[in-house]
Structure 1
Amino acid sequence: MNTLLNDGSTLTIRQADLNDLHEIWRLWGAWALFDEYRQHFNQKADLEAGHQYLIERLKAGDSVLFTACEGTKTVGFAQLYWNLSSLRMQKTLLLNDLFVTKEARGRGVGRALIKAAEDFAAKQNVGYMEMESEAGEVKALTLYQDAGWMPNRNYVVYERKLRAA
């Protein structure tokens, strides 16, 4: 899918699959981008572990991955995870990872990735999507709300660390 960005340049968004993931991601520099994303959230650098993780997710079918590229350079990605909802009695999607390079921010890349995720969900007959973001990610929160996503104030998310990560 090609999208025109705010500055008039063309962005290509594609869904990654196992057949092209190794070659395309290597050529477009996306492995480093996934690692940069993880480091942004205070995780240690580990290109190989990130590579393996993404391959495992796609093989298991529990993840859907979109890349945003300008020419041959990857400038962003979005990763969705399948969930189930007992209340809705249907599959749902979690937009868990959305990342855009610093150089590409503010040009519409994030919005285009969100749109690709929503279009995919609609084609899969998913009626409900959710996303999480750190409270301090003010620019990201503004992007999500500008894209029509609203905070869910009816639920509180709890977490408990079960082992050292």
Structure 2
Amino acid sequence: MIRKATLQDIGQLSELFDQYRIFYHKDSDIPNAEKFLTERIENRDSEIFVAEHAGKLVGFVQLYPLFSSTRMKRYWLLNDLFVNESYRGKGFSKALIEKAKEMAISTDACGILLETGKSNDIGNKLYPSCGFELYDKVNFYEWTNN
């Protein structure tokens, strides 16, 4: 079952979020994961959907709002998608993406953007299979201060 995350999910969701961060070579930090996710839900900074199986959260997707000036519409940034290793290959990622697409349609957004590493073989197969197209007409740049 795919549903919107609530504050009651913070415990399990924080554990999944921690696994996600560890996957991206960050140190484990469940207390700050709880704080971060609680703030996102309370402040309505993002939309988080969870995949639940047999009463346990097994995956999540988090989207942040963006806007396209040229299209004069909202875009959604699919920033985080994660399914616990034990539940991969069972359709949870696709179901989470479909829920994200439904939300984009219901908010009259012009689309969903995402980025993934060139070495992410699973993601680079998953996203095209869900209707995403590789957009190579622009250069992507990043500036960070840490």
TM range, smaller chain? over 0.9
The equivalent position to 2:26 in structure 1, one of 36, 43, 59, is 43
Q: How many residues align?
A: 146
Question: Residue 15 of structure 1 aligns with which residue?
Answer: 4
Give 4+ residue runs of structure 1 displaced > 4 Å after superposition.
none
**Residues 11-160 of structure 1: matches in 2 within 5 Å?**
12-17=1-6, 21=7, 23-26=8-11, 29-160=12-143
AA of the residue aligned to 2:106? K
Mapped to 1, the partners of 2:44 and 2:14 lie a distance apart of 19
Deviations 1:75-123 (A, max 9, x none): 1100000001111111110111000111111111100000000001111
Q: Structure 2, unaligned stretches of length 5 or more?
A: none
AA of the residue aligned to 2:139? V
AA of the residue aligned to 1:130? L
Mapped to 2, the partners of 1:82 and 1:55 lie a distance apart of 17
> TM-score, with normalisation over the residues of structure 1?
0.84
Question: Residue 7 of structure 1 aligns with which residue?
Answer: none
Mapped to 1, the partners of 2:23 and 2:3 lie a distance apart of 23
Q: Structure 1, unaligned stretches of length 5 or more?
A: 1-11
AA of the residue aligned to 1:25? I
AA of the residue aligned to 2:44? G
Q: Secondary structure at the match of 2:58?
A: strand
